[in-house]
Structure 1
Amino acid sequence: MDDAAIPVPLWPDAAPPPDARLIVIGLPTAPDAPRERTRLQVRRVLREVLAARLSLRFDNVPLQTTPGRAPRLAAPFAHIGLSFAHEAGLSLLAISFDGAVGVDLTPLSAVPQDWPGVARDYFGPAIAERLLRIADDGAVAAFAAEWSAMEARRKCAGMALVEWQGNASLPPTSTSPLALPPGWVGSLARPFSAA
């Protein structure tokens, strides 16, 4: 994992630079907002950002949505990578003009009490043991960071979340932490070739 945290401006306070190759935006949402309303809000912001960047009308941004799959752009913009993360209170949107991207966030308050067992199930014995050696005050944050990095890598590769499978591996990625508001941990992953 890279050490430098990627800044995440909160929408609508900061517009992305017009020449940025990577855009990550945080969208504060009501903690009790229905998930579908949050998803529509994120897609609206995505269309606003891409319409400005690609010199298109809002309605002409070729966003394709299919149930059970992450939204993506149609040709001639299919090379632009998109990734989304939703939790009660905050959503993330990542746009990579250099291809695949994965983004994820974890609220520290949502880390399960039985996180050591979850770590063994999803990260494997080596990472689970490393997390268990961390002092109590940092263990929850370390678990959340590992979880969000794993989810971001899987999203970047277009793979679903599965339990640890021994030597099965993902394509090599560069993973960076995100600078999020207190109480949140997030990660962004890109293929090494795009990093």
Structure 2
Amino acid sequence: MKSLAVQRWPGPTPTPQDGLFAILVATNNATQRDAARRQIRLAAREALAAVLRMAAADITIASAPGTPPHILLAGVESRIGISFSHEDGCALAAINLHGPIGADIMRVEDIPDWRAVARDYLGPAVAAALQNTTNRPLAFTQAWTQREAALKCHAQQLSEWQAELPGATISLILPAPNLAGHIHIGDKIA
């Protein structure tokens, strides 16, 4: 799988592709991050409940600082992975029914210090490739969201460049203009 279509929520029940699906919600107030977090977590529980054909009340999204969120089904740990990303006015939830997942979305914009950021955080190969691209804002955003999604999947925080992380990166087809994003999953599903 090279790409995954993201569905607006609320909407019809998502149809997982290889156990993967993602939803995008318009957040009510982009300046209230806590409200946006509650909103996307509720939407994720509703969408997952629809996919699993169970009550949303039986799904818990648990998290602790410094660890990725995880899913409890009727109070029992599951192997279902979930990841969230927020961008002005919208939030994404990506779900992997088979294990860990990382997700990131970002508005496509020209970043004035892209050279230094790419060199320090995306690595020498990406920094060199960005020098010669015709649509640098899009290419930078794609590279950044790939890296962030991989770090989230592996429960790592953003740090200066280090080796590539194992797994598969999948681009997101987002139902919103000027957004780019990716998910990253383990080696078993690609």
TM-score where L is the length of structure 2 = 0.88
Identity of aligned residues (%): 35
Contact 1:99 1:194 (8 Å CA) reproduced: no
SS of 1:122 mapped into structure 2: helix
Contact 1:31 1:88 (8 Å CA) reproduced: no
Q: Deviations over 1:49-75 (max 9, x none)?
A: 233333443222132132343321236
Does 1:134 pair with 2:133? yes
Q: 1:71 aligns with which of 57, 69, 72?
A: 69
Contact 1:108 1:185 (8 Å CA) reproduced: yes
1:63, 1:183 → 2: CA distance?
29
- Summarize the Cα distance change of 1:162–1:19 in structure 2 as closer, same or farther, 3 Å threshold: closer
Does 1:188 pair with 2:183? yes
Q: Which moved more, 1:40-49 or 1:13-22?
A: 13-22
Partner of 1:174: 168
Deviation at 1:123, TM superposition (A): 1.3
Does 1:149 pair with 2:170? no
Deviation at 1:8, TM superposition (A): 0.7
Q: What is the RMSD computed on CA atoms of the aligned residues?
A: 2.1
Q: 1:10 aligns with which of 4, 8, 13?
A: 8
1:50, 1:134 → 2: CA distance?
39
SS of 1:194 mapped into structure 2: coil
Q: How does 1:86-165 map to 2 (within 5 A)?
A: 86-109=86-109, 111-135=110-134, 138-165=135-162
1:85, 1:7 → 2: CA distance?
16
Deviation at 1:144, TM superposition (A): 0.3
2:125, 2:20 → 1: CA distance?
32
Structure with more of its chain in helix, by fraction: 1
- Summarize the Cα distance change of 1:119–1:104 in structure 2 as closer, same or farther, 3 Å threshold: same
1:31, 1:55 → 2: CA distance?
30
SS of 2:130 mapped into structure 1: helix
Partner of 1:34: 32
Structure with more of its chain in strand, by fraction: 2
- Summarize the Cα distance change of 1:85–1:29 in structure 2 as closer, same or farther, 3 Å threshold: same
